[in-house]
Every structure is written in structure tokens, then in C-alpha cells.
Amino acid sequence: MISIVFVTSGVNFTGRSSNPSFARPTQTAVNSAPFFAGMALAQGQAPAAARPQMSEEAFKNIQVLKGIPVDEFMGTMGLFSAALSVCCGDCHTGAGGSNPRWEADPARKQVARRMVQMVNAINRDNFNGRNVVTCWTCHRGSQSPSSTPPIDMVYGEPILYPADVLPAAATGSVPTVDQIFDKYIQALGGAQRLGALTSYVAKGTSMLFGEVNTDPAEIYAKSPNQIAMIVHQREGDLIRTFDGRAGWVLLPLTVVGLYPLNGSALEGEKLDAQLSFPAGIKQSIPNWRVSFSATIDGRDVYVVQGTGANGMVATFYFDKQSGLLRRVIRYATSAMGRVPTQWDYSDYRPVAGVMMPFKFTYGWISGREEYTLTEIQPNVPIDAGKFDKPVPRGGK
């Protein structure tokens, strides 16, 4: 299947809404490289052959967030954006314009550096260095954390934020992992039909968060775990690829543009590719557990979570009635906490005997794309180059 997300749809673990009330990052934050704490692209520096390119090698004036790969740096900037409901222009001089000065040091950026050091000290001194306290812990979408509980909130409808790592439900209170996944495979069409699907090419449209116009989109997938998602935006192509070993992201109108995925982010991209051919998805993570049931958009779902390689955590939400997958949230690690990526699936239709979602949303901390497919062609030849390192439009 294709992985999916509705960031606007809250998961309710108690029968009460858990939709965040803070403003979401603007589209400027998505398309204008909002997530770069104090930097301009360093010229003439190539990635080291034996390791990923580090943040201080890609950008200038990196003082605190050193020694982390570019993709982790991007995710960390996205966490800043979400925690404070800001975009790149709120911290970086000229961001969103024709002459940004990423290396400049405005006051807000200097404060951000001190906040990172403060959070690191809290976690080091109290939690053995684990990212228990993050920007989100206090800010929750506000630039200035509130220190006093409003009475309306004390006695009003509570806002609940489910934990990243969920507890296991009591044995016997919910179906087993095997039962839930077996029902999922049967709901898709059965293992035999899933095994007969070896590739597909999908076409449709994608709409960015905050936009009203759509862009042409294509998806290429090949069993067991290769995928390329391409959106032909007006400013340039947005591309995500995984070739079975390496993963890449190409973004238009950003400082970094093209960057490889590493660690838990790479494991997450691998999971996305495996979800296109989900017959063996249960075996992709060795330690699944069933947590407490929840609801999504009024429908009851079983919640199954597992921890994969490099600390990647994945949570699956299966419709209790149909057995189909409604949502996947996966988390990558970063310097300032977990970076969520969410897929939501709907409008399942049969393709070569396999139920596939024709509507889905891909959302991460720095952007969201809503996809509507118009056709899926099963078992077609696909050039292996589709899954390689992306090439910008007009590039070679």
C-alpha cells in the first residue's frame, strides 16, 4: 500500500478531542527552508565519503547543533517551528525573500541557542541525557510558555496529547498482534493476491497545506521495498525516494535542497516503502505490542506499536470494523526529541484484487501533502533509476 496521513484528524484515546489548538507552520515554513538555526549554505564542502554530511559542514555559523546529519538538523528545525508556531522568517533574517542571510545572528536566534543549551542541561542532569524535556514540553505552540493555569482550561474540556511510546494493553482485553495483522492482510485481499502484486505506478494530484491549487503527482513502487514519490510543484519537483538501501529527499525552494536520510529517518522511509507491499509488514519490526484502543474521526481503531532499528518508533491504527489501516505515525530521533511523520489512508479501492488507498496524506513536522490518485497501474515495468538519488528539474 501507500503510506498516509491526516494531520488535521485527532486521535482520541478517551472519547475527547486531542486536536492541538496551536497554529500550524505556514506554507512559507514548508517551502522556504524554515528550519536552519543560523546558517547559509557553505560552499565548496562535499559530504565525507564514510559518513553523512554534518550540519556544520552544510551551513555557516552553526554553534550549538553541531555533529548531527543534515536530515536530523532539518527535523530539529521543524520541531522548533511546531513548538513555537513560527516559520523560518521569524528567526532568520530575510527568510522567504530573495536575499536571506541565514548566517546572521538576530536576537531570537541567540535566545534559541540558549534554550537548546538549557534543555540539554535539564536532560543531562535529570534524565541521563534522554530527550525527556523538549521545546514542545513547555511551549505547546506558544512563543512564550504559560506559567499560570487558566480557569477555563482547568474546568473545560481537556486537551490530551498521547505519548510517543504507548503502553501495552492488558492481555485478553484486545486482540493479539497476530490477529490484528492477519485481519489486515485478509482485508487487503489475502496473502496470495498481495504476493502477486510486484510493482505499481500511480498518478494523481497533491495539494500542499495552506494551498488551494493542486500539483501533478506520481508514485513508483517495486516489491519488496522500493518507492519514489514525485510532486511536480510550480517551484520545482518535490521527490522522496528509497532504493532498498538509501533514501533521499529533494525539496524545492530550500537552502539545502537535496539531502540523504540517515538513522531512524532512513528506517522510517524504508517502512514507508514496505507499506506499499504489506504482506510482510508484521515481520518488518520484531517487537510489536497492542496498546489501548482509540478512535479516529469517530471510528474505533486498534493501536499497534513497535520499535525498529536505530530507535525508529511506528504506531499503526487499524479500523476495528474493516481491518484496514487508517493511520501510521512513525518517529525519527533528533537532537531535540522525536520527529513525527504521519500517514492517513482512505478511499480504498480494489486494484488487481488488492485494496489500495486512493486518498492519503503525508505529513511531517514541516509540511503536509494531501494526495488524490486517479489511477494505479499494477505490475508494470519500472526503470530502476526512478528510485535513485533524485535529480532537480532541469538537472543532469
pLDDT tens digits for range 138-189? 999 999 998 999 999 899 988 888 889 999 999 999 999 999 999 999 999 9
What is the rounded CA–CA span in Å between residue 361 and residue 5?
A: 4
Four-residue CA torsion sign, 293, 290, 341, 390: negative
Are 33 and 50 in contact, with CB atoms under 8 Å apart?
A: no
Mean pLDDT of the chain: 86
Domain 177-387 is found in CATH 3.40.190.10: no
pLDDT at residue 283 greater than cutoff 80: yes
Residues 6 or more apart from 69 whose CB is under 8 A from it? 52, 53, 54, 55, 260, 262, 263
What is the rounded CA–CA span in Å between residue 374 and residue 379?
A: 17
What is the rounded CA–CA span in Å between residue 367 and residue 210?
A: 10
pLDDT of residue 325: 98
What is the rounded CA–CA span in Å between residue 210 and residue 146?
A: 28
Count CB atoms within 10 A of the CB of residue 129: 10
Measured CA to CA in angstroms, residue 232 lies from 2, 137, 202 at distances of 18, 37, 14
State the average pLDDT over residues 289-316: 96
SS (H, E, C) 175-221: CCHHHHHHHHHHHHCCHHHHHHCCEEEEEEEEEECCCCCCEEEEEEE
Unique residue bearing C-alpha cell 513548538 = 83
Are 109 and 116 in contact, with CB atoms under 8 Å apart?
A: no
- Fold identical between 21-155 and 177-387? no
pLDDT of residue 7: 33
Confidence of residue 34 (pLDDT cuts 50, 70, 90): very low
86-98 pLDDT tens trace? 888 888 888 777 7
The SS3 of residue 238 is strand
State the average pLDDT over residues 344-351: 98
pLDDT of residue 395: 61
DSSP 258: E
Cell output for 75: 527535523
DSSP 75: H
Are 312 and 301 in contact, with CB atoms under 8 Å apart?
A: no
What is the rounded CA–CA span in Å between residue 22 and residue 15?
A: 21
What's the fold here for domain 21-155?
Photosynthetic Reaction Center, subunit C; domain 2 (1.10.468)
pLDDT of residue 20: 36
Question: Which of 39-43, 79-83, 202-206 is predicted least confidently?
Answer: 39-43
Are 81 and 27 in contact, with CB atoms under 8 Å apart?
A: no
State the average pLDDT over residues 356-361: 98
Confidence of residue 256 (pLDDT cuts 50, 70, 90): confident
Please state the domain extents for the chain. 21-155, 177-387
* pTM of the entire predicted model: 0.85
Element (H, E) at 271: helix 263-274
pLDDT of residue 396: 56
What is the rounded CA–CA span in Å between residue 320 and residue 329?
A: 18
pLDDT at residue 191 greater than cutoff 60: yes
pLDDT of residue 113: 94
State the average pLDDT over residues 329-354: 96
What is the rounded CA–CA span in Å between residue 143 and residue 84?
A: 5
Element (H, E) at 71: helix 70-84
Residues 6 or more apart from 111 whose CB is under 8 A from it? none
HSE-CB of 192 using CA atoms within 13 angstroms: 0
What is the rounded CA–CA span in Å between residue 193 and residue 353?
A: 6
